[in-house]
C-alpha cells in the first residue's frame, strides 16, 4: 500500500513524460500550421487543479504558431486544430517552464490547458474582412467621400466588448476615405445603406496589427456590429 501511494505521489509531482493531446471538439476548416496566426481562449491549471492563468473574461490571446512565441508544448500541441475546436493539452515541464518555473508555476510543473480556437489567419493569405448584413437598409449605399453616422459595438471574438458608441449616446461621424479609422472598419462601411445593420470581422492586419493599441492586444482580430443612422442625435 505504501509503495502504491508513493508511486501515485510521483505521478502527481512529475506528471506524464510526453505531451498529451485530446480534442474535445474537432472544429471545421483548414488545420492550423506553422506560420499561421491563431486567436484562442485558454485556461491553464497545475495537475493539482490550481488555476494559474486564463484569458476568459478578457481579450483572447493571439500568436504565430511555430514561431517560439509560446511554450514548446503549445507550438506542438496546437498544430492541426481547426476553427471552433476545443482541445486539452497536458504538457510536461520539459515542454513548458522546466526547472525554473515561472511566476505562480513551480519548477518542474506539468501543466494542463483547455484551449478554444476562434480564428486562423493562414500564412501568406491576403487579409480581408468578413461581413454579414443583419438588417437590410434603404437608399443608396455609402461611398468614398460620403459623410455618414454609425453606431457600433466593438468586441473580441470571444464576445468580450472593448468599446461602443451607445455608451456615449452619440454615433460616430465618418467621412469615408477621410476620417482616420482602421482599414477594416472603413471597408465595413462601404456600400452601407440607411438603417442597415452589419456585423464585420476584421483581421489583425486590417486593425491594429502586431502593435495593438490601448486595451487591444497585438495581432488581435476584432468584431464590430455596425448600424448606419440618420444623424448625431440617434
Judge contact between 177 and 144, C-beta under 8 A.
Answer: yes
Contacts of residue 213, defined as CB under 8 A and 6 or more positions apart, other chains included, come to none
The number of angstroms, rounded, from the C-alpha of 18 to the middle of its chain's C-alpha atoms is 27
pLDDT in tens, 37-56: 999 999 999 999 999 999 99
pLDDT digits (tens, 9 = 90+) for 113-161: 999 999 999 999 999 999 999 999 999 999 999 999 999 999 999 999 9
State phi, psi for 65 to the nearest 5 degrees. -70, 130
- C-alpha–C-alpha distance, residues 180 and 165, integer Å: 16
The answer, yes or no, to whether residue 12 has pLDDT greater than 50, is no
Residue 232: the pLDDT is 67
pLDDT of residue 175: 97
CA distance 81 to 222: 21
Do residues 31 and 82 lie in contact, with contact meaning Cβ atoms separated by under 8 Å?
yes
Q: Reply yes or no on whether 182 is catalytic.
A: no
Q: Give tens-digit pLDDT for 191-207.
A: 999 999 999 999 999 99
What's the rounded mean pLDDT across residues 170-177? Answer: 96
The pLDDT > 90 percentage for the chain reads 91
CA-CA distances (angstroms) from residue 94 to 17, 53, 130, 207, 233? 9, 19, 40, 36, 59
Report which DSSP code applies to 2: H
The question of whether 105 is a catalytic residue gets the answer no
Q: Which of 132, 168, 143 is nearest to 153 (CA)?
A: 168
**CA angle, corner 30, sides to 29 and 34, nearest 5?**
145
pLDDT at 124: 95
How is residue 115 written as a grid cell?
484551449
Catalytic residue among 61, 63, 97, 156: 97
pLDDT of amino acid 231: 79
Catalytic residue among 61, 71, 148, 216: 71
> Is 113 an active-site residue?
yes
Catalytic residue among 36, 63, 75, 113: 113
* Continuous segment of H or E residues that includes residue 159: none
Amino acid at each position: 500500500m505504501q509503495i502504491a501511494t508513493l508511486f501515485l505521489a510521483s505521478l502527481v509531482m512529475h506528471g506524464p513524460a510526453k505531451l498529451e493531446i485530446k480534442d474535445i471538439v474537432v472544429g471545421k476548416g483548414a488545420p492550423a500550421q506553422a506560420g499561421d496566426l491563431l486567436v484562442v481562449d485558454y485556461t491553464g491549471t497545475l495537475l493539482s487543479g490550481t488555476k494559474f492563468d486564463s484569458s476568459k473574461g478578457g481579450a483572447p490571446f493571439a500568436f504565430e504558431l511555430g514561431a517560439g512565441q509560446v511554450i514548446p508544448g503549445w507550438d506542438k500541441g496546437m498544430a492541426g486544430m481547426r476553427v471552433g475546436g476545443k482541445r486539452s493539452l497536458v504538457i510536461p515541464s520539459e515542454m513548458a517552464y522546466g526547472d525554473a518555473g515561472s511566476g505562480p508555476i513551480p519548477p518542474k510543473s506539468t501543466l494542463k490547458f483547455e484551449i478554444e480556437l476562434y480564428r486562423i489567419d493562414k500564412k501568406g493569405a491576403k487579409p480581408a474582412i468578413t461581413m454579414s448584413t443583419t438588417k437590410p437598409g434603404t437608399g443608396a449605399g455609402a461611398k468614398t467621400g460620403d459623410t455618414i453616422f454609425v453606431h457600433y459595438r466593438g468586441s473580441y471574438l470571444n464576445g468580450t466588448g472593448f468599446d461602443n458608441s451607445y455608451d456615449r449616446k452619440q454615433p460616430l461621424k465618418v467621412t469615408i476615405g477621410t476620417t482616420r479609422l482602421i482599414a477594416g472598419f472603413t471597408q465595413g462601411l462601404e456600400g452601407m445603406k440607411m438603417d442597415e445593420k452589419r456585423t464585420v470581422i476584421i483581421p489583425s492586419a486590417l486593425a491594429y496589427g502586431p502593435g495593438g493599441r490601448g486595451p487591444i492586444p497585438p495581432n488581435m482580430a476584432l468584431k464590430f456590429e455596425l448600424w448606419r443612422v440618420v444623424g448625431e442625435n440617434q
